[in-house]
Structure 1
Amino acid sequence: MDDYTQLAESLNSGGLEAGLRFLNQRVDHRFTAVYRLQDMVLHNVELVDKLVDDDFDRGGLQSVPLGDSFCQFVLRDGFFRTSRTTGMEALNGHPHQGVMESYVGLPLMTSPDHMFGTLCHFDFAERALSDEEFTFLQRVARLLPRYL
C-alpha cells in the first residue's frame, strides 16, 4: 500500500488527528497542524506535537493574527517553505523570525476560490524537508479539505 493510501486510511479511521500524526511521523519537524483562517486570525483546528513536554505552553499556537504568522506568505505565494528563518531578509521584523526556525505551509482550499486555512509543519529548530516530501504534502493539501 502506498503512503497516500495509508494516509487516506488513517484519515478515514481516525479523523484529522490520525492523519496529522501520520504526516508528522514522516518528517523531523516537531509540529504538524491545520489552521483555519477566520477574520484575519488563524485558529488551530488540530495540532500534533512530536514531543510530550508538559512544560511547553501550546496556548500561543492556538490563535495567531495573520500578520504575525508565516501563513500570510502561504496566502500570498501559494506556499511557504524554509528550513531556517534566521537571517532571511524577507522575514526581517517578523515576530517569529528565529523563534520558529523552520516552517512548511500549504493552503487548504475548500473550493477553487475559497481558502479554509493552512496545513503546516514547523519547529523551533532548523529542519529541512525533502523535495519528495514537499510534493507529497502538496497532494495531501488537496485531500485534507474533505476531512475538515
Structure 2
Amino acid sequence: MNERAATISNQKFEEAMERGGVYAALAFLNGRSPYRYTAIYRFEGEMVRNLYLFDRLGTVASDPSPVPMGDTFCQFVGAPGNFSTSNSLEDSRLDEHPKRDVLQSYFGLPLSRKPGTIFGSLCHFDALPQSIADDEIPFLESVTPELMKHLE
C-alpha cells in the first residue's frame, strides 16, 4: 500500500470510528478482509473476554463470559507479536488445539496501552480457510492506537 492509499485508509477508519464507534470501526476493518469475523478480546490473566465482535453475515450475540486462554488462538498473540494461520487443519502448531476444527483461519495482533503490556487482541477469524494480505498487516498495526483510545 502506498503512502497516499495508507493515509486515505486511516482517514476512512477514523471516520468510521467517529460515526459509529468501535463496532463501526470493526465493520470497516472486516470489509477490508476475507474473514467472516473481526473482534477485540481482552486478556484477563489466564482468561480471555470478548469485548466486541463483528460478523459480516449479521450481528451475533457475543457472550461476555471469559473463556480459558488455552481454548483460544489469542493465546499465541503477544509474545512474538502477531499470530496467523490460514488453515488450522494444516498448521502443525495447532495439532493439539481444541478449536482447530472449529476455526480454520485466524489473524491476530496485540493491543496494548504501553510497551511491554498486552491489553488483548484485535483479530480476524473464520470457520473456513482464509489469509490476510501482507500489506494489510501494517495498516492494522497503525490503527490499533486509535482503537485503544476507545476501549475501557
> Structure 1 residue aligned with 2:93, among 90, 110, 114?
90
1:6 corresponds to which residue? Answer: 12
1:108 corresponds to which residue? Answer: 111
Report the 3-state secondary structure (helix = DSSP H, G, I; strand = E; otherwise coil) of the residue aligned with 1:110: coil
1:50 corresponds to which residue? Answer: 56
Paired with 1:20 and 1:147, the residues of 2 have a C-alpha distance of 12
**How many percent of aligned residue pairs carry the same amino acid?**
39
Report the 3-state secondary structure (helix = DSSP H, G, I; strand = E; otherwise coil) of the residue aligned with 2:87: coil
How far residue 14 of structure 1 moved from its aligned partner, in angstroms, is 1.3
1:1-148 → structure 2 map (5 Å cutoff): 2-52=8-58, 59=63, 63-148=66-151
How far residue 28 of structure 1 moved from its aligned partner, in angstroms, is 1.0
Deviations along 1:9-29, one digit per CA (max 9) or x if unpaired, are: 211221111100110111110
Compute the RMSD of aligned alpha carbons: 1.9
Pick the structure with more strand per residue. Answer: 1
Paired with 2:66 and 2:30, the residues of 1 have a C-alpha distance of 20
Deviations along 1:64-123, one digit per CA (max 9) or x if unpaired, are: 311111111102321101111112111111001132000000000011132110000000
CA 1:53 to 1:22, structure 2 compared with 1: closer, same or farther past 3 Å?
Answer: closer
Paired with 2:65 and 2:141, the residues of 1 have a C-alpha distance of 24
Deviations along 1:8-57, one digit per CA (max 9) or x if unpaired, are: 12112211111001101111100000001113211111100011387xx7
Paired with 1:96 and 1:141, the residues of 2 have a C-alpha distance of 26
Paired with 2:88 and 2:22, the residues of 1 have a C-alpha distance of 28
Instruction: Give yes or no for contact 2:85–2:91 (8 Å, CA) kept in 1.
Output: no
Amino acid in structure 2 at the alignment position of 1:10: A
- TM-score, reference length from structure 2: 0.87
Paired with 2:139 and 2:56, the residues of 1 have a C-alpha distance of 20
How many aligned positions are there? 145
- TM-score, reference length from structure 1: 0.89
Q: Structure 1 regions of 5+ residues with no counterpart? A: none
